[in-house]
Structure 1
Amino acid sequence: MDQTIRKILTFLETIEVPFQLSRLTSDTFLPGLKLQQGVLLIDVEKLSYAGDILHEAGHIAVCEPTERHLLSGDVYKSRSNKNWMKGEEIAAIAWSVAAIQHIGLPTSVVLHPGGYKGSSENLIMVFEKNELYGQPLLAAWEMIDSIEDFPALKTWIREVSWADPATV
């Protein structure tokens, strides 16, 4: 197994993001990765980019806690289209950047040229210049104390819920 993948998986074990090494036989949204009921299934033989593991783990980490168990397949098709979940994509990107920096690997491992619809270079610039991209949500969800603290997260798994218990 690649050293970068080992470092990422060790990090996920440490912060308790649920994952399982698996053999995936069906097509997936990202090669070698599949979300299944809040668990990230990883087929390292089919994986195109190691950083994609962190991006998908970021979806688990920043997901509305009451909905986390529903994450399966494509996150946008697996969940109801509730207003409070729309920002989770940018929060997952910010989370994955914080994670890769915490691990000590280059940001380009996560924001690789094969992803983000051709905007990975722009995203790298955004984070290098400390511009806002997902950090306000991480702060609102109490994963960082303030946006100035980014990329140092105080908690890696979102616990703050915005869902109305009556509607969940």
Structure 2
Amino acid sequence: MADLHLVDRIVGFLRDLGLPVHEGEVIAGFLPGIAIRGGGLVVDTARLSHPGDLLHEAGHLAVMAPAQRLQADGDVSSDGGEEMAAIAWSYAAAESLSLPLEVLFHEQGYRGQAAWLREHFRESRQGRLGVPLLVYFGMTDSPDQERDTGFPAMCHWLRPA
């Protein structure tokens, strides 16, 4: 079972950004205890394995165009570009929440690439996976405008129209 204090922190953050998050039963989904329904997240805390997965799934919603986000239902990760943007967004969110990268990029996720992703976001100073798409979507400044973490500051947490 997931750390409920951490789940509450993440859910509060997502709601503050304007992403709908509801508690409910999630029997089947891409990730245990999380489903995308009606443009928002449904969280089943009894089945949720990794709280950081909430940030990744929220990242998918956040990088969608607003009209697409409102209609989002089910598995939304078929576009490789949006997958990279969701990863970058979730990293920015984890940094904003001061979460250890192990919470976001946990060993049971990311098809065996969690360690590589942690290293990439900790060490890479020559561009970040997904950041060019966040810039293109109007969600962050140019990578040249990096804050202390070496990651551009988010100017819009949800993709503008």
TM-score in same-fold range (> 0.5): yes
Contact 2:62 2:157 in 1 (8 A): yes
The answer on whether the counterparts of 2:141 and 2:153 sit within 8 Å (CA) in structure 1 is: no
Name the stretch that deviates more: 113-122 or 85-94.
Answer: 85-94
Superposition RMSD in Å: 1.5
CA distance in 1: counterparts of 2:49 and 2:152, whole angstroms: 25
Partner of residue 145 from structure 1, selected from 136, 141, 160? 141
CA drift of 1:68 comes to 1.1
Contact 1:111 1:124 in 2 (8 A): yes
SS at match of 2:66: coil
Is the CA contact (8 Å cut-off) linking 1:91 and 1:134 kept in structure 2?
Answer: yes
- Which of 96, 101, 122 is the equivalent residue of 1:102? 96
Instruction: Check conservation: 1:111, 1:121, Cα contact below 8 A.
Output: yes
Find runs of 4+ consecutive structure 1 residues off by over 3 angstroms. none
CA distance in 2, matches of 1:76, 1:119: 16
- Corresponding residue for residue 39 of structure 1: 40
Task: Show the counterpart of 2:49.
Answer: 48
CA-CA distance at 1:66 after TM superposition: 2.6
Question: 2:68 aligns to what?
Answer: 67
Alignment gaps of 5+ in structure 2: none
Tell me if the contact between 1:62 and 1:88 (Cα under 8 Å) persists in the aligned partners.
yes
TM-score, normalised by the number of residues in structure 1: 0.84
* Paired position in structure 2 for 1:132: 128
CA distance in 2, matches of 1:36, 1:67: 12
What residue ranges of structure 1 are gaps of 5+ in the alignment? 78-84, 161-168
- What CA deviation, in whole Å up to 9, does each residue of 1:88-147 have, x standing for no partner? 101000100100110011111111101000000001111112342000011111111112
**Residue 151 of structure 1: CA displacement?**
4.5
One-letter code aligned to 1:98: A
Identity of aligned residues (%): 39
